[in-house]
Structure 1
């Protein structure tokens, strides 16, 4: 039995064959094996055939760690996103694009926890990945400045990272809210309320501000109609009560993201929801099965995920290029709920 296939003498895992073993098996110099493994076209056909035969006979696999140390390239990128346990179309788009580019994706869920996000990002930086895509939730990411200075490429997705300057891809939040508001206004609604995410989050802050601006532009009062905050059942129930049971109640709702939409629909129940005009920001799973089907302002998640990878690859290839922010348009999908008349 070849020493490369033998055990380690203590009943442990078999020793992996090395390039030295391949060179011995093929009867060529170690340098020749290295050149074949690294696809050097100058190796003669006869020697290349010998090396390939030895590789197959020994079931040799190149040491990826050694290659990474030599080239400084891992072929892997990281993605720190808010959630991966449920449907995450942006992450799916990132994975598809990365795979098409020959990159391996390592993803972790921050689970809306700022401390967890910090731990994940520091860990990814220490693993010396080629780059990291971040769906940020923390209020400040200045702790990553030393990593950027050391050459770690990063791209922010869905919202900017605060405290540092990195490439970013996100939806046109203000335009999306404007589309939702004007759609309801065109269908006869004048008392339109907004229930959204916390303004601590950049996208929540942008969407709430855009909704206030739309109200003022139409001469409508802001008081009692704009309800940002944590997406918790009690908070959403209170916001609905304020908006729908005032002396002059709202006849339509705009919800600020998918989680808020789901929380609102649960609080309302199917009968009350069917009588209220609703436009949600973000697609909602099975939205077309509701009665009426849910009208939404849909983010172009495929473009967002693909652009995040493209920006990261561009930053890896050209570290000193100007920082770029890409704003992706949205699309209003009218399905019935946003067309309910007052």
Structure 2
């Protein structure tokens, strides 16, 4: 049986284990979009993972979703990431940049421009801004002629990412951001070639991926998807059919991987595994019932990781488990207890709860 600690070939990369650090926004960039030395330390501390995936990174100005996050919107921002990629590589790791266009999940006070989306439908939620949570504005619906530019923004950011030393990029097609908005049946009310039918609603995702593959190659390109997740007020009324069509279409493009969140029933996820010929990353973090139980994700653990490897996943991603456990690989290997992160430090800024968390045995960090 495949072990979490077996090697895996991902394009030109040889991963020493099958543990992936999932993308998590920590809001430790500068106010003007630059990566920092603390971010370099943070990722270097976790370089024993088979693969690291960065915070969600804005590919262009209008796609900026969160304040205090480092971007890939300009060459200056890209150059600031070089300290991060160098630190990861020096410590023996591999890192992909997650390209995250927020679409309607944004605010003019963050980007300086009105957010855009597939349709003029606001998120029924507050969004994060430099002055605190504010109601999401109604986005400007993209004209048909403008859609290609936003799809191309992923490719432009991918070129900058690879130039800054990233080993590849992951398009954020999950969790209610722009690609997810185009896939939806409530945020996307378009009547042109990007709306209505399943074939039309997957078109933006496919075009964004195709542009990125043309820019940096399929073996440097992945995508993250969250079938039926319902995050950021996105509804996918036909998500089983929708994602079957999307994964089938993506399968011809020779991507490095598809990264699935376990946000729908197991049968649907296993069907997507059958439709995908390449590497599949699964994040087993499951969603609690939207009812009497609080809504949120259960943390991925060793048991759920092993179970999904048995079901056909090639790699397994861990999110919150990595926040307080920079040496997660060794803790899992040796079945050591995991430390708990303090939610107050998730997005607080500063080094507390970010890079001051000790490894169980500090001499293990940085070794593969």
TM-score normalised over the length of structure 1: 0.27
As a proportion of its length, which structure holds more helix?
A: 1
Q: Highest CA radius of gyration, 1 or 2? A: 1
TM-score by length of 2: 0.26
